Structure formats: structure tokens, C-alpha cells
Chain A
Amino acid sequence: MNLTLQKTNGCTVLFIKEERIDAHNSAELKGTILRLIEQGQINIIVQLEQVRFIDSSGLGALLSGHKNAAAKSGKLVITNLQQQVLSMFELTRLNRIFEIYADLNEAFDNET
């Protein structure tokens, strides 16, 4: 999976550089997030601006990260959702579980 990491304001920002998160690459995303948390990077912002498609396994990978960050008293939040991707969070009610921000500035304002 194509992604980049950036540390800003005490958070780790994970930029997903893929148009599609599905069962082909979601395990890699899940593993990347878990490794960050194991390394102590427990405050994670996942920036999904380029993602135009997510399936159930992609949502599951983000949910896994959310749970594991919370278990270490950290937080995983998401930003820059395209409308159709947001609608998948709404359909599964995951918009009630995740903190979702319009962009990174809004996330930093609320999380730091």
C-alpha cells in the first residue's frame, strides 16, 4: 500500500496514497497502524483525501486501529473523507465511533 507518514504536533499523520482500500491492501493498512501503536505512536490521524473507495475490510482495518489506539489511551481519528466514503461510515454507524474531521487543521485544533 502506498502511504506516507508525517509527525506533526505530537500526532502521527498517515496519508493514504491509494484510491481504493479493499481486501487486497487492508491487511497491510491494519498492520502499519498496529506497528505505529506498538512503537508508542498512539495518536494517529488517517488522512483519506485520495481514497474514493473503501470496502468492509478497509473499515475493519481502521476500526482495529481505533480500538488498539484507545486500548493504549491514544486515539485514531480520520480526516478528508470523500462523500461516498463518508456514506459507508454512516451506513455502518461507524461515524458514531470515529471522530471525523473535514481536514488536518480541524483535527489538529481538536486533538492537540
Chain B
Amino acid sequence: MDLVATILVDGLIYAGWLFIVSVGLTLVFGVLNILNIAHGSLYAIGAYASASLVGLYFAAGGDAVPWGSYAALILAAVLVALVLGPLLERGLLRFFYGRDEVLNVLVTYAVFLILEDVMKLIWGVNPYFVYEPYTLLGDVEIGPLFYVGYDFAVIGAAIVVGLAVWLTLNRTKIGKIVLAVIHDSEMSETMGVNVPRIYLGAFMAGAFLAALGGALTAPMISVTPGLGVNVIIVAFAVVIIGGLGSVPGAAIGAVMVGISRAASVHLVPEAELFIIYFVMAIVLLFRPEGLFAKTQARKI
């Protein structure tokens, strides 16, 4: 019984983290039709930026109000989105809209390679540690098990992010416009929608979510080069399982991957890395376009 509870809790914590990273990826794909490998770099940059900013915060006497470090984490993600979002979308990606999907994956792969080294140039190759925000929330006791409160805060953040994205898309005017652009961008343009601005906004939102994922993770780990390489591939698995472009799909995908990984860690530790892609391969076998994707007619 304890084992089941452990697997569930561990799985949900991992799923919460995964969802924050993946929902941005799926949003960007939904609107721009680009599967963005550089999402992993934005994640890593978010982690670095938050490590620097939290470091600065405590260096500037933040010890008096340690809670302010959470604001620093979020601010870091906002900064990354504000700087890199327009730079990548306006400066590069907009020239590739409507081109082949796989070619666009390669364009973002090139960006990923470039950003990997840019990060090394800015932050060097030594690890960064920001443990303060991690310890602030104390421990949580579930039956005989102890968890760090921060881990649950990540689940909370994931729920907030998920609700915010879903409500914005489905319950606000701007969301309706975004959905219209996803459905048919040319038709939306004739109706007076400023499509380039929607693209930019969606990409910045995606960049923010990637960076937020990184920023929230930074306190739990040591921030080192190569952080984005593994994240992006797991996030791919999640969005492909859920169906590209689907927010509820990303949530289901994250939970499936999270729980199966936790189960594997506790039951068959050898299969930890294997299981994520195995789940993805199985889902694609039965639902070739993911769980929540709309089946599209083939065009002649």
C-alpha cells in the first residue's frame, strides 16, 4: 500500500513538472505548427536566469524576506520570455511558417545548438546552486513518508498553469481568437485578426512556460550545461502521447509518463529511461496521432 502511495506521489510530482514544460511546447505547436526543439534551451536558460536572479536577490539582502525569492524565480521566466521570445519568433521562426514540419524541427534544432553554447558563454560551465527556495516550504508528512513541501508547490503551479492556459483559450476573447488562428490562420486574417501578433504572443507564452519550468526546477537541482538536452526529449514524448497541440492531452500525457516513470523507478529501476519512450511508442501504435489529436483527412 505504501508502495502504491509512493509511486502515486512521486509520479504526480514528476508529472506536475513535466506538464509545465510540455504545455508550452504543445501551445507553440498548436498555433505556429512548429515542434520547437529550442524549447529545451529556453527551459535551461530559465533555470540559469533564475539561479542568477535568486543569487542576486539574496546577495542584495533578501534574507530578511526569503519569500521574495519566489518572485525572483517567476521574474526570471518573464525576462527570458520577453527577451528571447521576440528575438526567436520575429528574428527567425517567422520566415519558416508554412514550410515543411520536419524542416522546421531542424531549424529549431539549429537554434538549440546555438543556445547551448551561448549559455556556456554567458554562465560558464560550473554548476549553480540555489537551494534557498527549496527549503522554505518545509516538509510534508504523508503517512509514514516525508516529502519536501516545494515539490507539492510544483504540482500546485502545474494546476494553476493548466487552468490558466485552458481558461484563457476557452473563456476569453483573446483565447477565441487564438483558437480561430489555430483553426485557419488565413481566414482569421481576412476577418481582421492580427495573425503575426497572435503568433508572437503564443510563442512568448510558450517561452515563458518553458523558462518557468526551468526556473521552478533550478532550486531542486544543480544547474549545469546540458540541462535542456534530456528535458526536451521527455517533453516531446509527453506532447506526442497527448496529441500535438492539445492542452488536456499534455496533462494526460504528463500524468501517464510521470506515473509510469515513478512505477519503474520503484519496481524496475533498470527501465527508468526506457519506460517513457516505451509508453510513447505504445500510444502511437494504437493512436498514431496521439490521444487527443483530431484525425485529419489526407489532402490530395
Q: Do A and B come from one complex?
A: no
